[in-house]
Structure 1
């Protein structure tokens, strides 16, 4: 299964020189391509490798070690996914259906949203924390109530904050072994979600729905890691998958798990469509807001974390936006990440 940058497969043809077939599934499967497209595919693959290296805190040579293709843990993961029997798949949040219906309404009023959120105390606490985070806070004023959050952020803003508040508890680390991965996956997911939201706004598309779908790959990554750990606890290998095995599992199953999440949560058909476009774009298809958001968010998170990424001019090659809009979104994400770092430092 190709990685989340696989949209390039729809833009490219076969390279003029024959390419040896990879011995194992890759995070990015080279498509038929012309020379320019082949170059772009390599850039996307490099960025994806750097992302996995950072998420797993592992050097590239450890990620690229060749695990056994017939590893029983991979086979069991695939079996569970095929049978929709993944034990670690997050269940549908109780308030999600009502929230989705309310937030998608063009006539929803502020008081209605406030009442729905206040009916769930846990959601209320999460929402206020996230609304006051650098990723969403507007100005220096501290938001103290749900009604104030709705007023300050507006209907569109509160939609994204609510989605983040619903998903955040699912991505909280359960133990020290997964703590770093969970922390980084959340930071990456939130950045990609904001980037996807910004790209959708440039295209005049549904921003809040794109925010949700932009968060889903990060949740899928953590779900896959947890499922592998659960499988490992019942074998002699132990609960912690090695980086090469986890890399292979993520590459193969990230999009199927996203689709399984969307189905389990009863998300509208357009969410499934956006995920499918990112996984299997039609030939010569334009880039999707989700794909561009993932590219922009990944590049900025890696740059902010002082990891290897892509120079700006190479990023421009991959994004389906004018350079000035791409640069504007990149700068906005950089500001959010820097303010987040400063806020963390002040708390310490």
Structure 2
């Protein structure tokens, strides 16, 4: 069922093999299973596997930071001052709530989107009549539906009815989620190129989270939207770091890789504050707490898995990935086949 859904959603002809029936584990559980299977004399130690996990994640994060921030300073080691500054910034962001004005204004179409996501067993006409109440959103939906990431053919979508007919109810919910969130990313201050790169990362993260949710029987109507929020938090963290550094001498400002590490320390908190400020349901909170634990403690969570797959996809679009799919699968709870399937779908969308 899950693989059939992937074929329908992504149109990936490579999806021909069954998903492996092997169980999925947390990192330590995987290690114990390996030791039980191969025997203590032939198995790697827990420390060795943890070291490999750190090495592979560091390689992926390093390559991804180059796609986010460029190659300048990418191979520099932080000074002691930069290390202390990074720790201080993370502590400040964790200790203090951001002022409301630091959180992007709630999208005007968000209440309509949240109602749409809760609608079940509805037909195309009902959805069309519901969306047409917001002309600005309808225009944005058509624009998004014709973008390379969402279009299903070379033919343009000319009307809302046609978009719903082609994409289906689930597909139009994804498009409306993206149409609601895209202006927030575009309006974020700072580097325009960075904002665009983070937006593409967000689209890949949302698609990955929805796919993984189906495969793991954790499907929910808001999963795609949930997948877009951590990347918005990244932009907020980056802006706050700019503010905290102020007029510091260039040699004391933290390096790009350190910025990304600060993001991973505080992302869960910023995400939950976005959720609260925008009046969204508390249903997201546990997934975001789990994401925070995964980022800090090297555990697995479905949201962080989606983020990692989106990182890999972003790197793959511009350069050879620094780690193989086999190594990538140590970083996520999914096996190689599932990861490869999701990445193929993302690649087809990115390349149009």
TM class by shorter chain equals: 0.7 to 0.9
Aligned to 2:68: 55
The 1:152/1:308 distance shift into structure 2, 3 A limit, reads closer
Aligned to 2:183: 169
1:55, 1:181 within 8 Å by CA — same for their partners in 2?
Answer: yes
1:91 equivalent in alignment to 2:105: yes
Within a 5 Å distance, the mapping from 1:63-142 to structure 2 comes to: 64-66=78-80, 67=82, 69-70=84-85, 74=89, 78=93, 82-142=96-156
Aligned to 2:339: 326
Q: How far did 1:292 drift? A: 2.1
1:276 equivalent in alignment to 2:289: yes
Question: Aligned with 1:87: secondary structure?
Answer: helix
1:286, 1:320 within 8 Å by CA — same for their partners in 2?
Answer: no
Q: How far did 1:132 drift? A: 0.9
CA–CA distance in 1 between the matches of 2:244 and 2:312? 32
2:146, 2:156 within 8 Å by CA — same for their partners in 1?
Answer: yes
Aligned to 2:159: 145
2:205, 2:227 within 8 Å by CA — same for their partners in 1?
Answer: yes
From 24, 27, 30, give the equivalent of 1:11.
Answer: 27
CA–CA distance in 1 between the matches of 2:48 and 2:171? 42
Q: How far did 1:122 drift? A: 2.6
Question: Aligned with 1:99: secondary structure?
Answer: helix
1:160 equivalent in alignment to 2:171: no
Q: How far did 1:230 drift? A: 4.8
Aligned to 1:28: none
The 1:318/1:118 distance shift into structure 2, 3 A limit, reads same
Q: Give TM-score, length-normalised by structure 2.
A: 0.76
1:212 equivalent in alignment to 2:225: yes
1:190 equivalent in alignment to 2:214: no
The 1:307/1:259 distance shift into structure 2, 3 A limit, reads farther
1:229, 1:238 within 8 Å by CA — same for their partners in 2?
Answer: no
From 200, 213, 216, give the equivalent of 1:200.
Answer: 213
In structure 2, stretches of 5+ residues that fail to align are: 1-25, 32-44
2:266, 2:292 within 8 Å by CA — same for their partners in 1?
Answer: no
The 1:65/1:87 distance shift into structure 2, 3 A limit, reads farther
1:300, 1:330 within 8 Å by CA — same for their partners in 2?
Answer: yes
1:112-153 CA-to-partner distances (Å, cap 9, x unmatched) read: 432343222332222111111121111222111222212211
Q: How far did 1:71 drift? A: 7.3
Q: Give TM-score, length-normalised by structure 1.
A: 0.76
The 1:307/1:143 distance shift into structure 2, 3 A limit, reads same
From 304, 310, 315, give the equivalent of 1:297.
Answer: 310
2:86, 2:254 within 8 Å by CA — same for their partners in 1?
Answer: no
Q: How far did 1:320 drift? A: 2.4
The 1:41/1:228 distance shift into structure 2, 3 A limit, reads closer
Q: How far did 1:180 drift? A: 1.6
Q: How far did 1:173 drift? A: 5.7
From 52, 57, 72, give the equivalent of 1:39.
Answer: 52
Question: Aligned with 2:84: secondary structure?
Answer: coil
